[in-house]
Amino acid sequence: LSTEEEKRLLKLEEELRSMASGQDEAVGREAKAIRKARAGLGGHTRPVGGFFFLGPTGVGKTRLAEALAEVLFGSKEALLRFDMSEYMEKFNVSRLIGAPPGYVGYDEGGQLTEAVRRRPYSVILFDEMEKAHPEVFNLLLQIFDSGRLTDAFGRTVDFRNTLIIMTSNVGAQLFFKGVSLGFGEGENFRGVKEQVLTQFRKRFPPEFINRLDDIIVFNALGEKEVLKILDLVLKELQERLDERGMKLRLTPRARKFLVSEGFDLQMGARPLRRALERLVSEPLSEEILKGSYSEGDTVVVDVVRGSVRFKKGGKKEAGTSVS
């Protein structure tokens, strides 16, 4: 390990939390396992790690995978994503390593093996694993056991510098059944997690589960977590406004309004970005084009009688700055 990488690994939690907020336990467990592997204590014939993320839709499973790609390998492009709904049939699974000689697509190589051959340092995300054909698990067992896979051309592809993450919504309905999961109900999650893990163990083969470094159940989101995610999304908007020399500030009313409009118990925080675009970004763009705001201005976002309103504000204007 280089000195630079050692420093980065020691601050891994801090960096990940700044990019994928709302799931501190998941971030902490992931970071510890990665440090162990990178320190040489995780085995030399395995990938950097193999993790399974469980939890409801929209709670940050994919976002944490994206953040890991950026932090560990320096780019979002280092995330290789495979939707397992496309590999539900046995004949489709062969596309991962390449079609057999004489079949359509043989010359193209494998979708998985080619991607890793071209980018050996990467995070591989297998999404919705409950939809995958059993043959997919056989391929993963080879990767976990030997850190390599042979494609249809007979070439060996090295997976030892990849981080493998799998996701599933198995058991997600338990977060919404029989337990009130309104904001601030985090203390109820422990029992639900055990039930989710029980369903997970029934659904997936034990020989596969035994090769995982960790199985992480993501919490359903409460108000505190959604507000943190709102800050991350607002930061992206502020970066765009920085190019115009403008600042954005939200009143507490505006923050709570955006959370109420952009959070759904079933969908998690996934609608939050759309709500911000609809309620803030799009109308603010129109105001900028009209000349209402220009370089040097601070735009204060407030809510008046259930509607978002903008106004110019000074440095002492009440509200939360986005930076």
The domain boundary, picked from 217, 233, 266, lies at 217
CA angle centred on 284, ends 282 and 289, rounded to 5°:
100
259-271: pLDDT as tens digits: 888 877 667 777 8
Between 114 and 174, the higher pLDDT residue: 114
Q: Does 34 share its domain with 177?
A: yes
Alpha carbon distance, N-terminus to C-terminus of the chain: 33
* Residue numbers of the domain that contains 272: 223-321
278-309: pLDDT as tens digits: 999 999 999 999 999 999 999 999 999 999 99
157-201: pLDDT as tens digits: 999 999 999 999 898 788 766 444 444 445 566 788 889 999 999
Q: Does 233 share its domain with 205?
A: no
Rg of the chain (C-alpha set): 22
- pLDDT band at 82, cuts 50/70/90? very high
Instruction: Kindly report the CATH number assigned to the domain that includes residue 231.
Output: 1.10.8.60
115-172: pLDDT as tens digits: 999 999 999 999 999 999 999 999 999 999 999 999 988 899 999 999 999 999 898 7
Tokens of 49: 């790690």
Q: Does 123 share its domain with 237?
A: no
Q: Does 194 share its domain with 228?
A: no
Quote the mean pLDDT of the chain: 85
CA 22/CA 89 separation, integer angstroms: 35
Q: With 60 as the cut, is the pLDDT of residue 67 above it?
A: yes
Between 127 and 40, the higher pLDDT residue: 127
Looking at the structure of the chain, the number of domains it has is: 2
How many Cβ atoms sit within 10 Å of the Cβ of residue 2?
7
Instruction: Kindly report the CATH number assigned to the domain that includes residue 132.
Output: 3.40.50.300
Q: Does 187 share its domain with 233?
A: no
CA 123/CA 72 separation, integer angstroms: 9
Q: Does 186 share its domain with 260?
A: no
Q: Does 190 share its domain with 275?
A: no
206-235: pLDDT as tens digits: 999 999 999 999 887 777 778 888 888 898
Q: Does 211 share its domain with 240?
A: no
Q: Does 65 share its domain with 207?
A: yes
Q: Does 174 share its domain with 286?
A: no
103 vs 24, 108, 139, CA distance in Å?
47, 11, 20
The stretches of the chain forming alpha helices (DSSP H) are: 3-10, 12-19, 24-36, 61-73, 90-93, 111-118, 134-146, 189-203, 206-209, 223-242, 252-262, 272-276, 282-290
The domain boundary, picked from 171, 188, 217, lies at 217
Q: Does 240 share its domain with 180?
A: no
The pTM for the full model equals: 0.79
